[in-house]
Amino acid sequence: MKRVGVVGARGYVGSELLPMIERHPGLELAWVTSTSQVGESVQSAPSLRYVAANPALFETSPVDVVMLALPNGQSEAWVARAGNTLVVDLSTDHRFDASWAYAQPERFRERIVGARRVSCPGCYATAAQLAIAPLIDLVVSAHAFGVSGYSGAGTARTERNDPEVLRDNLLPYALVGHAHERELSHHLGQPIRFMPHVAPFFRGLTVTASMELSRPLARSEAEARYADAYAHAPFVEWLSEPPHPRDSVGTHGVRIGGLSLSEDGRHAVVVGALDNLLGGAASQALRATNLALGLDEAAGLHAG
């Protein structure tokens, strides 16, 4: 059994991680941190109590894996003390660092296997990259229109997770320079424009990727590209119709589909959808942990 520490477990993503680790046949929770509930029982693991978030835990209670579910900019104190512990960071802090494995198994599996430092993609970036990647060599320009449930805004109250503000509403935000726009552009190797929005539902996410192509593309070739790209990707489902975000809630992968082509074959549109807390965060982090440790990629994801 590999011992796991989870930092920042009281957030939405941390709360999804804990039950998966608890049922994992090869992992066991060693400690779970919280800034507000120190000493209280961990709901998904009643035998454990939350402890204060202190990197000295690496010395007082060593672990094989630490999963950082922290706000952006708060990982470095933990990374500095981690030594040879496998670090899985769910924040943006290391997504542009070439010395860290980027935890998108469908595209970078070989880098994740055996890695000691793993940086998890953002939820929007996961759906958009997988929707665009099979055509990227033909893309002249691409725009991704994203809509997420308000859990993506975190637990700290803002207008973007206030149900009253969102009622019968759709909030655009960070329409230029969003962190996921930079992440998409970096990992796809060319500029991708991204426009995020928050909707009144709690969880789930959809991205519509519109791509101008360098040459005409036949539907048969486009479909073959997606089929080939994800032929060995058990967590990607290719659909003939656009996926709906509600159908991805509670699932661990990404649904991609609704391929549309202009009459001249130079404009393609593809839709991606996932559960922003699972397939776009916690599940992807656990899959990467499994690969880094040499375990079954799907271990712990499913109950029973």
Tell me which architecture the domain covering 2-121+281-293 has in CATH: 3-Layer(aba) Sandwich (3.40)
Q: Which amino acid is at 29?
A: L
With beta carbons less than 8 A apart as the criterion, state whether 112 and 88 touch.
no
Taking only the tens place, the pLDDT of each residue in 181-232 is 999 999 999 999 999 999 999 999 999 999 999 999 999 999 999 999 999 9
pLDDT at position 241 over 80: yes
- Which amino acid, 7? V
d(CA 91, CA 76): 11
- Positive/negative CA dihedral, 39, 42, 47, 50: negative
Q: What would the pLDDT profile of 59-79 be if each residue is shown by its tens digit?
A: 999 999 999 999 899 999 999
Neighbour-count burial of 59, counting CB atoms closer than 10 A to its CB (0-12 exposed, 13-18 middle, 19+ buried): exposed
Q: Which two tokens stand for residue 204?
A: 């789930």
Query: Could you tell me the pLDDT band of residue 8, with boundaries at 50, 70 and 90?
Result: confident
Radius of gyration of the chain (CA): 19
Stretch 267-275: mean pLDDT: 98
29-60 pLDDT tens trace: 999 998 888 999 998 888 899 999 999 999 99
DSSP state of 39: T
Q: Which tokens is 200 given?
A: 């009144």
Q: Taking residues 14-38, what's their average pLDDT?
A: 92
Bridge partners for 170 per DSSP: none
- The residue from 67, 123, 132, 166 that is catalytic is 123
State the architecture of 123-276 in CATH terms. Answer: 2-Layer Sandwich (3.30)
- Do the beta carbons of residue 182 and residue 239 sit within 8 Å? no
Alpha helices in the chain (DSSP H): 12-22, 57-60, 76-81, 105-112, 123-132, 163-166, 179-188, 219-229, 245-248, 283-293
Q: Is 123 a catalytic residue?
A: yes
Domain ranges of the chain: 2-121+281-293, 123-276
| CA trace torsion 166, 172, 174, 178 (10° rounding) | 100
pLDDT at 304: 60
Percent of the chain exceeding pLDDT 70 equals 99
User: Which pLDDT does position 10 carry in this prediction?
Assistant: 67
> What end-to-end distance do the CA atoms of the chain give, in Å?
18
Is residue 132 within 8 A of residue 144, CB to CB? The reply is yes
Amino acid letter, residue 299: A
Residue 270 has pLDDT above 90, yes or no: yes
